[in-house]
Amino acid sequence: MISLEKPSHPLKGDVFVPGDKSISHRSIMFGALAEGTTEITGFLESADCLSTIDCFKKLGIIIDHTVKPTNGVPKITVHGRGLHGLKASASTLYTGNSGTTTRLMSGILVAQPFDSNITGDSSIEKRPMSRIIKPLSQMGADISSVMGNDCAPLHIGGGCKLRGINYRNPIASAQVKSAILLAGLYADGETVVYEPALSRNHSEIMLASFGADVHNEIARDGSAAAILHPGMPLHGIKINVPGDISSAAYFIAAALMVPGSELLIRNVGVNKTRSGILTVLKQMGADITLLNMNESGEPRADILVKYSELHGNQNNKFEIGGKDIPTMIDELPMVAVLAATANCDTIIKDAAELKVKESDRIATVVENLTAMGADIEATDDGMIIHGGKPLHGADINTHNDHRLAMCFAIAALSADGITRILDDACVGISYPTFFTDLQRLL
Ligand code: S3P
């Protein structure tokens, strides 16, 4: 348990957040399928990404962890075995709390000549897998939920011939899109995934730099398409993972909430499919500037944030929905906390996906913000926050959800009295050094 309260001074200085979780997972998986070695710096060594490493080691991939003697920088080397080099795992592949590992790895395993079994922790065993079972089955895969409840454990039968499909996903989900594209690497023809809005496109960017023939397009009806043609071998590359904008979001919020603060968050990934939080907060009056922008590959920048009073539009309302939602899906709990401190009503809509994350984030955010004195109501596809009521300290039930633990640690910085984060250890899922990095500023 960790106790936090309002700091006695503004937050000032530079912050370095750890590597991007989505990009780190993909660097291991795609490196495993490539010929030759892939060298990764900036890799996120959190429980989720270590689950991916563990699974690919079980699939016969050698993965080394070294520290460069010249500069002390940790480096992960993946000794890829090519698209057809994986070996059957002797035991069930355990993905811990990681939806990305479970879903993307399934897309790879359906194309292998051997059978596989996959499961994860109690949260993973409740998360919907029909969203990958349906399209992968359409491609000819043999994948099923062992308990028949559309959740993990999953059984995957090997030796299936896959066909390319045109798949219209009703929701924007990078995990679903990536699982289909990865299976598409082994299919007999073109694979196209359409989404109502472009979800994070790290798979497309990274697969293309490994040599795959894949790109994004806006379709005639306005939907976002990812198009992959199989047949190209993947070749090992060097990857430098930028800082994770989902982790930077906690420090952005902290600077916006504590009067007089000014933080410079260094080397953060600002891919447009991930940086919706910056656009939305700027519209609410946040003083945020991007410095040292580098657009090659995955765009990255330093983010300068200064304390700001957030507000709505003329009617003192602010609405967040539509195509902005997939670009900030993991940051919505933090945005809800910020909205509770803003002098306006904020409506978050089109975000029903929050219900099927590591916890039901509509219910768990509303529960904990209510405990802190906020005026907030849950809706079917989001929440309505009547901002401006002063927050007070409370005991936070994280439901073992890493993002809840971190966003309520930040909420504590603008609340009267003491806030206790119960089960704080779950931050290890995406950001093991979060509390030490935060304490340094307090
Ligand atoms: C992720 C995609 C998103 C996101 C998750 C990571 C990824 O999930 O919420 O934290 O790495 O592809 P969905 O695909 O379910 O939207």
Taking the CA of residue 177 as reference, the ligand 1 atom at the shortest distance is 14
407: its two tokens: 């966003």
Task: Report long-range pairs for 215-221 (Cβ below 8 Å, ≥24 apart).
Answer: 219/194
Is 127 within any annotated ligand binding site? yes
- Residue 70 has a pLDDT of 80
CB-ligand 1 contact for 98 (6 Å cutoff): no
CB-ligand 1 contact for 424 (6 Å cutoff): no
**Fold (topology level) of 21-231:** UDP-n-acetylglucosamine1-carboxyvinyl-transferase; Chain (3.65.10)
Q: List, run by run, the mean pLDDT of 10-residue segments along the chain (442 residues).
A: 97 98 98 98 97 98 90 92 98 98 98 98 98 98 98 98 98 98 98 98 98 97 97 97 98 98 98 98 97 96 98 90 97 98 96 98 98 98 97 98 98 98 97 98 98
- Residue 434 has a pLDDT of 98
CA dihedral 356, 404, 172, 190 (to 10 degrees): -90
Is 91 within any annotated ligand binding site? no
For the domain bounded by 2-18+243-441, which CATH number is listed?
3.65.10.10
Domain ranges of the chain: 2-18+243-441, 21-231
Same fold, 2-18+243-441 and 21-231: yes
Say what the pTM is.
Answer: 0.98
CB-ligand 1 contact for 327 (6 Å cutoff): no
174 CA → ligand 1 middle, Å: 6
Q: Is the peptide bond before 69 cis (omega within 30 degrees of 0)?
A: no
Taking the CA of residue 356 as reference, the ligand 1 atom at the shortest distance is 15
438 CA → ligand 1 middle, Å: 25
373 CA → ligand 1 middle, Å: 30
Alpha-carbon distance 348 to 277, whole Å?
A: 13
Residues identified as active-site:
330
- Residue 273 has a pLDDT of 98
314 CA → ligand 1 middle, Å: 34
Q: Give the other-Cβ count within 10 Å of 33's Cβ.
A: 28
135: its two tokens: 């399209």
CB-ligand 1 contact for 330 (6 Å cutoff): yes
Residue nearest to atom 16 of ligand 1 (CA): 173
